[in-house]
Structure formats: structure tokens, C-alpha cells
Amino acid sequence: MVLRNWLVAGLAVLGVALPLVPVTPDYWIVLLNAIGLSSLVVIGLVLLTGVGGMTSFGQAAFCGFGAYATAVLTTSMGLSPWLTLPIAIAVTCTAAALIGLMTVRLSGHYLPLGTLAWGISLFYLFGNLEVLGRHDGIPTVPPLNIGGWDLYDNRAVYFIIWALVLLAAFATLNLLDSRVGRALRALRGGVVAAEAFGVNTRRAKLVIFVYAALLAAVSGWAFAHVQRAVNPTPFGLGAGIEYLFMAVIGGVGHVWGAVIGAAAVVLLEDRLQIILPALFGHSGNYETIIFGVILVLLLQFARSGLWGLALRFIPELERRAPAQKTAPTEAAPLPRRTPPRRGEPLLEVQSLQRNFGGLTAVKSLSFSVNAGEVVGLIGPNGAGKSTTFNLISGILPPSSGTIRFQGRDISGLGPRDVAAMGMARSFQHVKLLPDMTVLENVMLGAHLRGRAGMVSAILRRDRTEERRLRAEAERQLIRCGLADYMHVKAGALPLGQSRVVEIARALSLDPLLILLDEPAAGLRHGEKQALATLLDSLRDEGTAVLLVEHDMDFVMNLVDRLVVMDFGAKIAEGSPEVIHSDPKVLEAYLGGIE
């Protein structure tokens, strides 16, 4: 049996046995319960901050929503705690959705500052509302119960808390390993690429914001019934910072790191509160200072936290995808788009213009690409080629002019809608997600071809569809000559190959038109030939290609037609032979690249 399994088995036995054997001090159980309650909140933070890149200081306030909701309902209406749980969750999620709508659109440092702001506001709200007992809170909350039995015993509550923690952990792991999960994991640093493949990133941010709040609400709900009293103090900014601290110490981004971080902080705090006052001779919150020092040291020397440290010494802890080639996934192929008839106009660009301040990057540009055609867009550096791609794919809005795709005006549409119509692209500056495997990156390309949502991901009802998406991604990778790199982290690939991964990702969308921005840059001679063969086969299948490329030999042999740009405007258009001897083109290039 592998080490990992031994460890899991050992922890499971220990976890069940500890509260059952009478020799375990009750105080240990109290601490373990505190760890479990914190873990719930921190698992949410792992998703929010570690995966989604949104730092929140305000999670404790959502615990407060859960705690106060159940406290009010159980004391004033006599409802059972199990009945109030869904209500507490609903109340918190509604509040989180409203707060999230305002918060997730903030960017950079404004987002954590925003969470500070509402974290403080909610704390004072709890402390000032008459129905919530103001600063004294609600003193007589009933305990949890099972089948009429009131659970006053910490050991009984222990099992409920840790069942919730395991439920949350596995739900979150399932979620991360799914179609929605890939979209969520793209939020930190991959928003442009994700949107280009149809992910609604703002909605995805809101979803994890509410999800994290839900876990905090469950923690608060349990906390209220464990403490059998509720007051504002545990839901203030101090607690919010502590949760974030647990996430960072554990290794923000790992679900199990959340539990380890919670354990480390709860246990250390408990010890320090005894040791430090004795050391300094009088009482005070000295542990806060120590925590500050630890945080600085960790951020300096071990950014990935305790879980990251553990993985460095015992890599077997992580369940890994097989590093070597495995048999291809068996699944029914995904449905494909019906392609337009070869030669029909597919993309029509008319008088397209884009200004950046005083600079006109694209100037009154008109050209078209027909179904099944390979068109080259060439021109010296700075000619406006990449800007043209951004305009066509909806990443930038045009200043004026129209873009039609399959006859429909797409000039105002965003990248998601353009992608949904069957246009995929690669980026000149590669936009892969370095921490995801090559295969996962390419599966993100097929995002729009799946529909499984969050709930089916958590319940693992998405497996059939996942297999189909995976099979499709594998097929595209094999076709692009990357079969050996599927399970490698994308960040480990050399630049040339990353570009080919971007092509495989674009192909996974099942595009009618694929825009490639300098796909051959950084490729060796043999790899360029393989790429040329691939693009030829796309033409044979009827997929249109619009290609920006500096390698003239590569372009001239491949394309049906060339559009030449200089200073934002089209200076020539025609077959490679015609362009080859066009004096205007020669002149543009003499001053540009060799």
C-alpha cells in the first residue's frame, strides 16, 4: 500500500478513536472541534483566495450570518437546528450574492480593501441590532440534537463537525476536478484566455464567493450550537484575518492545506496563550506578534505553506495524474458543428478601426476569410496584426467598422459570444495556465462543448461528460504531436511547444475559424513542418485559418491568400506569388523585419 493510503487510514482510525476512548482529555476534543469549525471557513478561503485569487478579510462576517440566523430562529421560534441550517445557508448566500455582486468587480488591492470594509460594517451591524441582542448577543442557543437527543457532549458534536468538514473537503475537491473547476482555476491569471473559450469569469467569481460564504455559514451555524451562545466578537475583523492567516499557513490553494493551517493556528494559539504571558510576566495578546513573524517568514521562505512544505519532503502525499502515457480515454465523441460550405464567406471585416488614444493601431481595414481557406495576415512589427485579432475575437471593442461572422454582425460582442459561434484563437503572448496540466488546459478549450454545472460536479454526476471532454482534448493533443506531454504542467513546457498547446486548445472548441497569432515562433525546423502539415489537414477538413506569422517561407508555402498590413492599414492583398513581388510590400518590409 502506498504511503498516502497508510496515512489516510491512520488518520481515519485516529479520528474515530480519539473521541471514543475515555482517556482522551475533553480539552483535546474542544480543540479538535475548534479546528474543524475553522477548517470549514478556510476551505472556502482556499477556493476564494487560493484558486480564485480573491483575498477576503471578511469571511468571519459570513460565519456571523449563519450563527445569528440559527440563534434567532431557534430561540425565538423554537425551530430545530437542523431545520434552521438550510435557512441559515439561504440567508447567508443571499447576503453573499448581494455583497459579492459589488465586491468581485473590484480589482487589485481594492478587492481586499472592499472585504475589510463590509467585514467591519457587518460586525457593527451584529453589535447594534436590537433583534440580535446588540453587543451581548443571544445567550441561550439550544445544542444540536439527533433524534430528540440533545448533544451537550463535545465528543458527540465532534462527529458532526468533522463529518461536515469531510463533506466540504470532498465537495470542493470534486468541484475543482471538473469543467466548472477548470474555469474557476483559470480565474487567477487566466481571465482573458478563459473568456476567449466561453467562461463567464465574473459569474465564476461570484459563484465561488457565494460558495465560500456558504461554508462559513455552516461553520457559524455549528459554532452557535456548540457555544450555545452568540455574540459579535467571533465574527469581527480579527477573526477574519485569522482565517486568512490559516489559509496562508496551510498553503492557500490546497483543500487539505486548509485543515492543516487551521490545526496549526488553533494549536499554536492555544499553546502561545499559555506560554507567552508566563514568559513576559503579564497577560496580553502576544501570540498575535508571533503570528505576524511566522507569516512574514512563511511568505519569504515557503509561499506554498505547510502543505507545500510537506509535499516537498513527501511528494507521495499528493494524488498525481500518471506521468507517462496512458491508454486513450474511451468515450463517445462530442457532437460537432455543421461546417458552412467551402468557399462561403465566413469572416468579413469592413472598415475596421481601432484607436488607442492618439494612435490608430488598425486603420480602415477590410478583408475576408472564406470557409476552408487559410489566410495569412502579415506585416512588420507594430503593424496592428495582434490588435486586429483582438478586435475580431471580441477581446477589444472596435472604434468603428463592422465584423461579420457567418453573416452575423459580431462587432459589439464579447469574446464568450464570439467563441460560442465557433471562432477560436491562440495568443501571441502565450496564455496557458501554468499550474494546470497540458491536458487540463486543452480541456478548457472544450468548455463550451460541455454543460455540467457546479452541483453535478460536486455530486460527480458529470463523469460521462468529463470523459468525453477529456477524450476530445487527448485527440487534439495527439493530433498536434503532444501525446507525450499531456500530463505535464503547462508551465514546464518550452515556449514553442506552449504555442502548439494553444493550438490544441483552440481546436478543442471545434472551431469553424481559428486565429493563430505567430504559432511557429520558437519552433524548430521539424516542428514547423509538423505544424504546416497540421494546418494543411485543417484546411482539408474545412476549418478556416487566419494566421499571423513572421516566417515567410512557412507562410508562403501554406496560405491560399495573404493580407499585408503596415501602420494599421492594408497595403496589399493577393496570392503568395503576387504579394512576393509587390513593390509596396517589399518597401514596408525593408524598413521592418528582414
Alpha helices per DSSP H over 186-254: 191-196, 201-227, 237-250
Q: Is 324 a binder of ligand ADP (CB under 6 A)? A: no
**Residue 387 binding target from Mg ion, ligand ADP, none, CB below 5 to 8 Å by type:** ligand ADP
User: Which residue, 286, 261, 256, is CA-closest to 271?
Assistant: 286
CA distance 579 to 576: 5
Q: Is 382 a binder of ligand ADP (CB under 6 A)? A: yes
User: Which residue, 457, 38, 512, is CA-closest to 267?
Assistant: 38
Which residue's Cβ has the minimum distance to Mg ion?
Answer: 386
Minimum CB distance to ligand ADP, residue 134 (Å): 53
**Segment near ligand ADP (CB under 6 A), from 184-192, 265-273, 382-390, 519-527?**
382-390
Minimum CB distance to ligand ADP, residue 587 (Å): 17
CA distance 469 to 444: 9
Pick out residues in 328-367 that bind ligand ADP (CB under 6 A).
Answer: 356, 359, 361
The CB density around residue 556, as the number of other CB atoms within 10 Å, is 17
**52, 190, 384, 422: residue in contact with ligand ADP (rule CB under 6 A):** 384
Beta-carbon contacts of 496 under 8 Å, excluding residues fewer than 6 positions away, are 521, 522, 523, 524, 527
Question: Is 212 or 565 the residue whose CB approaches Mg ion more closely?
Answer: 565
Cβ atoms of 319 and 326 closer than 8 Å: no
Minimum CB distance to Mg ion, residue 587 (Å): 21
Strands in 379-426 per DSSP E: 400-405, 408-409, 423-425
Q: Is 593 a binder of ligand ADP (CB under 6 A)? A: no
**103, 231, 386, 441: residue in contact with Mg ion (rule CB under 5 A):** 386
Q: Is 429 a binder of ligand ADP (CB under 6 A)? A: no
**Segment near Mg ion (CB under 5 A), from 80-88, 200-208, 270-278, 421-429?**
421-429
Minimum CB distance to Mg ion, residue 438 (Å): 24
**H helix or E strand, kind and range, residue 428:** none
Question: Is 385 or 425 the residue whose CB approaches ligand ADP more closely?
Answer: 385
Question: Is 183 or 559 the residue whose CB approaches Mg ion more closely?
Answer: 559
**Segment near ligand ADP (CB under 6 A), from 139-147, 165-173, 344-352, 380-388?**
380-388
Cβ atoms of 243 and 60 closer than 8 Å: yes
CA distance 304 to 293: 17
Minimum CB distance to Mg ion, residue 378 (Å): 11
Minimum CB distance to ligand ADP, residue 520 (Å): 15
Q: Is 394 a binder of ligand ADP (CB under 6 A)? A: no
**Segment near Mg ion (CB under 5 A), from 39-47, 152-160, 214-222, 379-387?**
379-387
Cβ atoms of 501 and 476 closer than 8 Å: no
Minimum CB distance to ligand ADP, residue 555 (Å): 14
The partner residues of 355 in beta bridges, in order of sequence, read 360
**Residue 382 binding target from ligand ADP, Mg ion, none, CB below 5 to 8 Å by type:** ligand ADP
Question: Is 182 or 385 the residue whose CB approaches Mg ion more closely?
Answer: 385
**Segment near ligand ADP (CB under 6 A), from 311-319, 321-329, 374-382, 479-487?**
374-382
Cβ atoms of 255 and 71 closer than 8 Å: no
Q: Is 387 a binder of ligand ADP (CB under 6 A)? A: yes
Minimum CB distance to Mg ion, residue 500 (Å): 18
Residue-wise DSSP of 88-155:
HHHHHHHHHHHHHHHHTT--TTHHHHHHHHHHHHHHHHHHH-GGGTGGG-B--PPPPEETTEE---HH
DSSP strand pairing (569-574 vs 513-517) = unpaired
**240, 253, 379, 415: residue in contact with ligand ADP (rule CB under 6 A):** 379
* Helix, coil or strand: residue 516: strand
**24, 399, 428, 529: residue in contact with Mg ion (rule CB under 5 A):** 428
User: Which residue, 47, 51, 55, 53, is CA-closest to 112?
Assistant: 55
Pick out residues in 489-548 that bind Mg ion (CB under 5 A).
Answer: none
Question: Is 380 or 453 the residue whose CB approaches Mg ion more closely?
Answer: 380
Question: Is 157 or 352 the residue whose CB approaches ligand ADP more closely?
Answer: 352
Pick out residues in 181-220 that bind ligand ADP (CB under 6 A).
Answer: none
**Residue 384 binding target from Mg ion, ligand ADP, none, CB below 5 to 8 Å by type:** ligand ADP
DSSP 8-state class, residue 228: T
**H helix or E strand, kind and range, residue 454:** helix 454-458
Q: Is 386 a binder of ligand ADP (CB under 6 A)? A: yes
Strands in 428-578 per DSSP E: 513-517, 544-548, 561-566, 569-574
Site size toward Mg ion, by CB under 5 A: 3
Question: Is 72 or 548 the residue whose CB approaches ligand ADP more closely?
Answer: 548
DSSP strand pairing (544-548 vs 374-378) = parallel
**Segment near ligand ADP (CB under 6 A), from 117-125, 381-389, 532-540, 586-594?**
381-389
Pick out residues in 526-565 that bind ligand ADP (CB under 6 A).
Answer: none
Cβ atoms of 11 and 32 closer than 8 Å: no
Question: Is 425 or 475 the residue whose CB approaches Mg ion more closely?
Answer: 425
> Helices (H) and strands (E) in the chain — how many of each?
23, 12
**Residues lying near Mg ion in the complex (CB under 5 A):** 385-386, 428
**Residues lying near ligand ADP in the complex (CB under 6 A):** 356, 359, 361, 379, 381-387
